[in-house]
Each structure stands twice: as C-alpha cells, then as structure tokens.
Homo-oligomer: A and B are copies of this chain.
C-alpha cells in the first residue's frame, strides 16, 4: 500500500455506485472477477497473517447491521453491510454495503467505496476460486438454483475461470429466470431453463445454490445429488438460514472459509460442532487436499468472510489508478499545525 498523497492529506478517493458500474463495464465483468479471484488466492495463501475478528453485528427486529474488519498488518479494511429481508417489499435493497481501506502505518483511510456491486463480484470470484480446487476436472455444466442478484456474476465467473460452457437455471419465480436468461444472452454461455430443482441439477458437474430464503429450507434433497458433483452453496449465510438437506452434508467433504463463523452461519450449523471440515486456505496453500477422487461429493459451504472483502478492496485500489472512476472526498481534517484544529476552523471564515 502506498502512502496517502502527501500533497492532499485530506483527500480519500471514493468510488461511487456510478463509477463502480463504469469501472466494471470498462474492465469487463469477467476480467474484474478474475482479478479479484487472483487477489483472493494470493491473500488466502497469507491467511495466517490476517487479523480474523468475527464480524460485529448489531441485531434488530427487522435485520442486522454488521462491520467486518480485518488487517494483514500493512493494510486495514472493513465493510459495512446490512441485511433486512423485509426491505424488498418497501422497494429497498435487502443488502447494501460500503467499504474502506486504510494504511496501517498511518491509520489514514486510502479508499472508500460502494460495496454492493463489489461484493457480488467478490462472491462470484470466491466461488470460482474454491471450485478450481474442488470441482471435477473439466467441469462443463453448472446448475444454478436461485436466479437472483448473484446469478449472472456466478455464471460468468465459472465460465471465465473454470471453463463452464452450459448453465442450467431454476428459480421458484420464473420471472427471475427470465431476467437471468436476458442478461446472459450475449455471454457465450449455453443457457438452459429448467422447471424443477431435479431437472436443473441433472447432469451438472457443479451445483450452485444461491436462493434467498431466510428460513431453514431444503433446496437440495439427498436424492438430487450424485457422486462426483461439486456443490457451491452460497445462499445459507446466517443462523437459521440453510439450503441443503443434512444428509447431503453427511455424504460430502466440506470446505469452509473460517470455521468459527461457518459453524454459526453456514450449512454446517445443522451438524455437530466438531464435524470435520477443511479450511479452504489450507487447500490453496497445499497443506490439505481438495478433491481426491471422481466419486467424491465436495461442498463449499460459503458464508463470506472479511478477507474476501479485503481482497476485493485491494484489487479495486489498484484498478482505479490512472482512471477517472473515483472522486476526491475531503474527509480528513488536516490543519497545517496538528495542534491548531481550532485555528483551522477559524481561518475557514475566508471561504464562507
């Protein structure tokens, strides 16, 4: 991390929603996801360096507001994210997010950004990184149950990073599938609409579940999952919210981000607290094995972890350099004489 610009100590670069969209379109969705995926892999290899505080949650009747901080000793990052299932009915987003990077050496913020779009990109990147290590070799077909906000990002990540050629779509709301088909029409993917969970998963190498059910749900039952498949389960991400039948978990080799968090929020909340799981970072470093046979069912029980956001923020920090896709935010009070904060305010009279 370079130091803040010494000429403009008060300024923090800010990536608005509008600029994030322009950046994504300029770089390209697939290229950007690949860039974030590379950063995630690189950061997961340094896993032990990171501060791994659990997220700090403030719960209310209608939802939760969370802060997810982490640091590698050089760079500090955090994400603000809310989750309010009832928001959709009121025309609001269920989840909104923004994030910040700071320089650990000085404590100065160096980047502020919207993170709703960036989180969608990093979630897809994370799923693809896991699948690189866990999915069957030469996977060509992915089933996607749940065709909401995350669907197209997942499809493009798996196309670009895994070489997936066909996606099979299903959603209990056909309108969601209509939307995904329209959005993917020029993607180069072979997109197939299916009419049931069973039909969707049939013949798929990889099954991605990304439904938004709040309650414990059984999107996949045991009979739907065949030997050798990789399950990328990203919809279960808080206590009481799961997507897979417990029997599937018992037949699978389970890989997770950070066990203390996944045992509370992931699919494995259905299992005993000491059920064996493998930490994905150890597979990436080579300390542990990923997929070991063609028959094995692998499950990536993903809930999203602060280090992934950190990786996305670090990628973004580099990506905006030499672009116009950020604004200068005058956020840090910087008196010429640090002890003269009062005088700085008084001297601003000249600008009134």
Q: Hey, which bits of chain A sit against chain B, CB under 8 A?
A: 6, 9-10, 14, 16-18, 20-22, 24-26, 29, 51, 53, 56, 58, 60, 62-65, 67, 69, 71, 73, 76, 78, 80, 82-84, 87-88, 90-94, 96, 98, 100, 102, 104-109, 114, 116-117, 120, 147-153, 176, 179, 182-183, 329-335, 337-346, 348-349, 351-352
Contact = CB atoms under 8 A, between A and B. Distances in A.
Copies in the complex: 2
A28 to B, nearest CB: 11
A93 B333 contact: yes
A206 to B, nearest CB: 19
Majority SS at the chain A contact face: mixed
Nearest to A186: B346
A340 B149 contact: yes
B116 A339 contact: no
Given A69-B67, A78-B67, A149-B342, A337 B179 contact: yes
Nearest to A98: B331
Contacts of A58: 51, 53, 69, 71, 76, 104
A153 B331 contact: no
A229 to B, nearest CB: 25
A93 B339 contact: no
B331 A17 contact: yes
The 3 closest A-B pairs by CB, nearest first: A82-B107, A116-B333, A21-B348
Contact of A179 (B88, B90, B343): B343
Contacts of A22: 348, 351-352
Contacts of A51: 58
